[in-house]
């Protein structure tokens, strides 16, 4: 034990590196799968994350129920009042209700975003808004917010989600606009992000390995810029499989 503490590597760093390696391998595997496989896996992962978040939010109250007091509907309430009550219940349900609602919303958004990205070849505002519209509409239907006009309310909710998502996307693009120097690494950055190897972008820049050099990359060139063997293999394999990376512009 003392020998490990004195001369061994940091266990936390080793664990982080191992997790990063597994994540990179998983992303590389996902990139090689047909669109329906990637969409299914992405949807399932998003749904699990959403269910966990929704369950946590629904458990905030001491009794494990709704964190907000819910009034009872008055006798002979009109449809508009019932619709408003349903909307409030959808946002203030217990753990199981919130877990279901958030699982549908985040799972649908993740899956639709994946499909739009594969179809359009990039992550853009149109695909982001389309995914938000679908997730908002499904959230409205599953949560019961649409009573007594489920179709109309689903479309309205989907449009609201799409508008908000489009606004957030534009704000994010505005604050993350790359500098003129970074335009020489746009395809490289996209490839590394797809493989989960974003941290090696600085290695490419130090070695001046721009997008124009992607068709010429070799194992020795990547080794010279201090990229480990595993990521080198993933990068070279991705370049072979993706013809867009070797196009000269």
CA distance 112 to 40: 10
The answer to whether 80 and 37 have CB atoms below 8 angstroms apart is no
Q: Which of 151, 212, 142, 210 is nearest to 181 (CA)?
A: 210
Amino acid 25: pLDDT? 79
Amino acid 183: pLDDT? 75
Amino acid 228: pLDDT? 92
In terms of average pLDDT, the best of 11-20, 71-80, 176-185, 195-204 is: 195-204
CA distance 162 to 166: 6
Amino acid 180: pLDDT? 53
> What are the sequence ranges of the domains in the chain?
20-66+80-176, 180-245
- Dihedral angle at the C-alpha atoms of 164, 165, 170, 176, nearest 10 degrees? 130
CA distance 15 to 83: 50
Amino acid 86: pLDDT? 55
Q: How far does the chain reach from its first CA to its final CA, in angstroms?
A: 56
Q: Which of 52, 45, 49 is nearest to 30 (CA)?
A: 45
Task: Using the predicted structure, report yes or no on whether residue 119 has a pLDDT greater than 90.
Answer: no
Amino acid 2: pLDDT? 44
> What mean pLDDT comes out for the span 146-169?
85
> In whole numbers, what is the pLDDT of the chain averaged over residues?
79
Higher pLDDT, 57 or 66: 57
Higher pLDDT, 146 or 186: 186
Amino acid 218: pLDDT? 93
Amino acid 62: pLDDT? 47
Taking the CB of residue 231, how many other CB atoms lie within 10 A of it?
21
Q: Would you place residue 137 in the very low, low, confident or very high pLDDT band (cuts 50, 70, 90)?
A: very high
Higher pLDDT, 236 or 65: 236
Amino acid 3: pLDDT? 47
Q: Please tell me the CATH code under which domain 180-245 is placed.
A: 1.10.150
Taking the CB of residue 146, how many other CB atoms lie within 10 A of it?
22
CA distance 4 to 102: 44
Amino acid 142: pLDDT? 85
Q: Which residues contact 28 (CB under 8 A, 6 or more apart)?
A: 195, 196, 234, 237, 238
Q: What percent of the chain has pLDDT over 90?
A: 27
What is the number of alpha carbons within 13 Å of residue 115 lying toward its C-beta?
Answer: 16
Amino acid 109: pLDDT? 94
CA distance 37 to 199: 27
Query: Any idea which residue has 């390696």 for tokens?
Result: 21
> What mean pLDDT comes out for the span 121-147?
84
Task: Using the predicted structure, report yes or no on whether residue 20 has a pLDDT greater than 70.
Answer: yes
């Amino acid at each position: 034990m003392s020998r490990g503490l004195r001369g061994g590597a940091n266990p936390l760093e080793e664990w982080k590196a191992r997790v990063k390696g597994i994540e990179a391998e998983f992303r590389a595997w996902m990139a090689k799968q047909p669109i329906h496989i990637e969409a299914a896996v992405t949807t399932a992962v998003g749904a699990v994350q959403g269910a966990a978040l929704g369950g946590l939010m629904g458990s905030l109250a001491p009794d494990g129920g709704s964190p907000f007091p819910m009034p009872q509907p008055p006798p002979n309430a009109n449809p508009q009042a019932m619709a408003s009550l349903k909307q409030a219940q959808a946002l203030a349900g217990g753990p199981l209700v919130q877990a279901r609602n958030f699982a549908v919303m985040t799972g649908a958004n993740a899956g639709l975003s994946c499909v739009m990205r594969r179809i359009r070849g990039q992550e853009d505002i149109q695909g982001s808004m389309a995914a938000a519209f679908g997730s908002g509409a499904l959230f409205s239907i599953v949560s019961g917010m649409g009573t007594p006009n489920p179709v109309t309310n689903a479309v309205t909710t989907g449009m609201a989600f799409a508008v908000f998502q489009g606004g957030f996307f534009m704000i994010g693009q505005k604050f993350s606009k790359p500098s003129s120097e970074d335009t020489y690494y746009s395809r490289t950055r996209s490839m590394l992000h797809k493989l989960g190897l974003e941290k090696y972008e600085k290695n490419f820049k130090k070695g001046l390995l721009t997008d124009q050099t992607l068709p010429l990359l070799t194992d020795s060139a990547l080794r010279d810029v201090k990229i480990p063997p595993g990521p080198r293999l993933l990068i070279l394999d991705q370049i072979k499989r993706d013809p867009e990376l070797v196009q000269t512009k």
